[in-house]
Structure 1
């Protein structure tokens, strides 16, 4: 319930502070006086999108503040706890500042909240019914939500469970479709990887193979040069014409003859002796190498061909044999997972089929329950419409037979109406007048207000297009709603104003060249005068005053 409302520098309101009460409060006044501006302010406190256009000309910012009684719904308390908002005193202070720069700051009990979260909280604080709601009645896509809101808590829980399952189904469906859509390109990649794997596998690469092949190739390519070098070296060491080893041997004999005469001679002798043995060993090695050396041109071709194979593989798969082998391991792992992926897709498709069957069953159950809910809603609305002098009306919740799963199931409903006996039922959007829409909206709100547990309901000229006994019936309906919820009602109908527990008069005046809106709570005598004005217009007569008193007296008697 709204307890207090403070407005500063908002539209044509420089400053305003109002206190509200339980029951029904009527807001009356001339057209353009600013009644709807007050409702706009309440809407902004409930999370409506704002604009710097709301700020009073010449001001830097506007301030809106509402003091609300803490709603009793446990879901509201859970939301406040989730957002970290203190609520020990069982009240909520909602503040909203908007500056000309476009910046908007929202606070609940002093804690800054986002506009989205303010809107979530605002759903529990105030329900504003006006021309927008008339428009919603003309939108068939909104009718299903109205039917569902008439359902039991058990039904609403089943709907919530369905929506969770439906979300899971859609996510899984998206995953499966994504895999299936990529299946062709995936198969092409597998073919390519299999070719690469086979090509590397057939090469039978060894880690140090390339270095060994290069060395072998260099030897085979330089056979003649190697042969000449070995032969010349051997001849220089061991040939009869110039036998270096014999010369060294003779030198060694001479040195050994004098080595005992001086330590240095002895050292030289030992060095020559070591050189002699090393040269002798080298000559033997040269001889062996010459004996085994032969030109294998076929092997040279094999080595060159093998090195070309390695070069081609390096160009495709890596800069070295270890890199190629690492790539081979990588694609082998990917290929080993192919069968697993196919099995995974089959498993996902099975799960998808199961979930689809599951949510279809849930949707069927929702459909059956909605049929029962719709029957009860039709009966309740016809009863309310009868009390609003639409006793000849027929109202039907029409179910479309199209079965496509959506977030709400497969049901599509539309309200059908006829107000004239003998005329067929037709879509509400095609047959309802403005006055009839007002009565249908009021009938719905009468049915739903107690079940929804709204603490504060605002009716913004929902009585448009009616008069006479219909106006009186609407007045009584609004008063009935006020027995369970606080009701604030902007009205131009004297019948509606008369049944209110409180009445505020809204007027505007020009002060120092600026238009200002003023709001004052009317006393009993002032209410008589205001209702008389509403009855007759500008001229108030004794007759209209008497009629106004009768309306107020009759309203009090009904209480």
Structure 2
């Protein structure tokens, strides 16, 4: 379970420390108080994408930290083990900072991790279901993802095998498509490649050639300065009555007295060694001077060569190395295009074999989906009865192509087109869910689907962000009971405006915002029994609480207690 969460300088939250309990926790409060902001903070903590906009105005960074407790068989443990992160006492501390520049730093149990690794672990701890997920029901292309989540690990394994095979087949198919462009484009491409290969090859480029030419040009351009400085240096060392003559005199005098003083001997040796080193370098300087020659023709040749290299760089790469790598790639492409018919023939044979493998994997995945679809339809219909949609009939429709010899009949999800159908009234035919279900019905259907997701089993926490939109009365009570049932297996958090849901809470947190020193800040308060009555009364009436409203609130809490017991 999520034991504690600390949030600092996040949106309108200045500083919050919230302790959570097992079971169902509800967040209530006026619209705009910051209920969803707390869920946003948890979302970022488990790998959601952050930005500088989340940092509270005037703060340097936002910081979110949470402590999770898991059991010794929790799926998050294997993810942590893969990342080399220890999990002492089955406790996980996740911490995330977002700076005012938008940069993010993530840590799990003190170890720095990437955002993708944080997400990998976080998704095994928390599932967040927000209002936007209702939109998935409005778009049939999203239905296949919802069905597959219901399928659990076995279906996901088949899907992964299929998708790996699909990617490999797609690569071959795209190669054939590329080679099958019209003859005019093919001929133009071959001519272009031939010209480019000839231009680069004739240039006879070599690695590091440009750097060496630039160095040589620098010497030639500065020839006069080089020559004068070297000449003056040589004369200063080896000219008559210059440096080495004076040092030679020092060497001779020190050698004549080194036997008279032990300390002088070491100095004499050091000076003598320095003399020979300087003399050797003076000879090397003279030799270099003798070889030094101003070559204006060579400078012109270098300038011409550098200009040639510069033109090639504009066309084919930023460096000589890039140009040579580009040459290799176009030589291969030229060879493939020149052997166009032979290459296509080989690729088509390869594609045919690959399609047989893909067809087998796609068929297995489709058969599994159909069994899962039948199970999901039965499960949803059972749930809908509990949610006062007993006369509704829900069905998962799967459409598959008749023949599978063409790669165009396949897609990354498989060969199936999935759509949810429903009939909300007896005698009415099944129709597309997106066309006939109301907002309240959508909320109930999504809750029914979520209640049956195998992927939710074992999760530390499940979060519902206003999933009860558009319902009231006995339907609201049914949804409240359904959400509470989920809290038996996992810790559940729910942002709600329904008093029926709030009454079922094991922990009731009231969210409000206060203005202090002209700044707005979100506050969180855990309500006691008396405060629960007042808040549920406010949710019922929307105005100040009367005796009748109070009585109604007390009855709701009493009913909830009876249901829970």
TM normalised by structure 1 equals 0.69
Partner of residue 371, structure 1: 370
Partner of residue 542, structure 1: 547
Change in 2 beyond 3 A, CA 1:343/1:14:
same
Q: Name which one, 1 or 2, has greater alpha-carbon Rg.
A: 1
Partner of residue 36, structure 2: 36
Does residue 50 of the first structure (1) align with residue 50 of the second (2)? Answer: yes
Q: Give the C-alpha shift of residue 393 in structure 1.
A: 1.0
> Which one of 436, 446, 449 corresponds to residue 444 of structure 1?
449
Q: Give the C-alpha shift of residue 351 in structure 1.
A: 2.9
Equivalent pairs counted in the alignment come to 416
Change in 2 beyond 3 A, CA 1:449/1:35:
farther
Does residue 383 of the first structure (1) align with residue 382 of the second (2)? Answer: yes
Quick one: distance in 2 between partners of 1:338 and 1:473? Answer: 66
Paired residues of 2:179 and 2:340 also in contact (CA < 8 A): no
Change in 2 beyond 3 A, CA 1:339/1:35:
closer
Paired residues of 2:143 and 2:418 also in contact (CA < 8 A): yes
Matches within 5 A, 1:80-119: 80-119=80-119
Does residue 361 of the first structure (1) align with residue 366 of the second (2)? Answer: no
Q: Give the C-alpha shift of residue 100 in structure 1.
A: 1.6
- Cα displacement string for residues 530-549 of structure 1 (whole angstroms, at most 9, x for unaligned residues): 11221222221222222222
Matches within 5 A, 1:342-491: 346-402=345-401, 404-448=409-453, 452-491=457-496
Partner of residue 508, structure 2: 503
Change in 2 beyond 3 A, CA 1:365/1:486:
same
Paired residues of 1:176 and 1:345 also in contact (CA < 8 A): yes
Paired residues of 2:144 and 2:419 also in contact (CA < 8 A): yes
Paired residues of 2:75 and 2:124 also in contact (CA < 8 A): no
Partner of residue 26, structure 2: 26
Comparing 167-176 with 529-538, greater Cα deviation is found at 167-176
Change in 2 beyond 3 A, CA 1:6/1:336:
closer
Partner of residue 242, structure 2: none
- Cα displacement string for residues 18-44 of structure 1 (whole angstroms, at most 9, x for unaligned residues): 011211001111111111111111111
Which consecutive residues of structure 1, in runs of 5 or more, have no partner in the other structure?
193-334
Change in 2 beyond 3 A, CA 1:99/1:337:
closer
For 1:150, what is the secondary structure of its paired residue? helix
Paired residues of 1:71 and 1:455 also in contact (CA < 8 A): no
Partner of residue 168, structure 1: 168
Partner of residue 254, structure 2: none
- Cα displacement string for residues 492-548 of structure 1 (whole angstroms, at most 9, x for unaligned residues): 111101111111111112222222211111112221221122122222122222222
Comparing 158-167 with 501-510, greater Cα deviation is found at 158-167
Quick one: distance in 2 between partners of 1:180 and 1:72? Answer: 56
Change in 2 beyond 3 A, CA 1:338/1:124:
closer
Quick one: distance in 1 between partners of 2:354 and 2:528? Answer: 64
Which consecutive residues of structure 2, in runs of 5 or more, have no partner in the other structure?
195-333, 403-408
Matches within 5 A, 1:64-83: 64-70=64-70, 76-83=76-83
Partner of residue 196, structure 1: none
For 2:86, what is the secondary structure of its paired residue? coil
For 1:89, what is the secondary structure of its paired residue? helix
Partner of residue 300, structure 1: none
Paired residues of 2:457 and 2:489 also in contact (CA < 8 A): no
Partner of residue 515, structure 1: 520
Quick one: distance in 2 between partners of 1:473 and 1:400? Answer: 33
Change in 2 beyond 3 A, CA 1:494/1:339:
closer
Quick one: distance in 2 between partners of 1:98 and 1:162? Answer: 38
Partner of residue 197, structure 2: none
Q: Give the C-alpha shift of residue 181 in structure 1.
A: 5.6
Quick one: distance in 1 between partners of 2:380 and 2:57? Answer: 46
Change in 2 beyond 3 A, CA 1:73/1:134:
farther
Matches within 5 A, 1:23-422: 23-70=23-70, 76-178=76-178, 346-402=345-401, 404-422=409-427
TM normalised by structure 2 equals 0.68
Comparing 165-174 with 523-532, greater Cα deviation is found at 165-174
Q: Give the C-alpha shift of residue 176 in structure 1.
A: 4.5
Q: Give the C-alpha shift of residue 452 in structure 1.
A: 4.1
For 2:124, what is the secondary structure of its paired residue? helix
For 1:510, what is the secondary structure of its paired residue? strand
Change in 2 beyond 3 A, CA 1:59/1:549:
same
Partner of residue 531, structure 1: 536
- Cα displacement string for residues 116-155 of structure 1 (whole angstroms, at most 9, x for unaligned residues): 3222222112111111111122121111111122225333
Change in 2 beyond 3 A, CA 1:35/1:540:
same
Quick one: distance in 2 between partners of 1:455 and 1:505? Answer: 23
Change in 2 beyond 3 A, CA 1:512/1:188:
closer
Q: Give the C-alpha shift of residue 449 in structure 1.
A: 5.6
Change in 2 beyond 3 A, CA 1:174/1:88:
farther
Paired residues of 1:176 and 1:348 also in contact (CA < 8 A): yes
Comparing 517-526 with 179-188, greater Cα deviation is found at 179-188
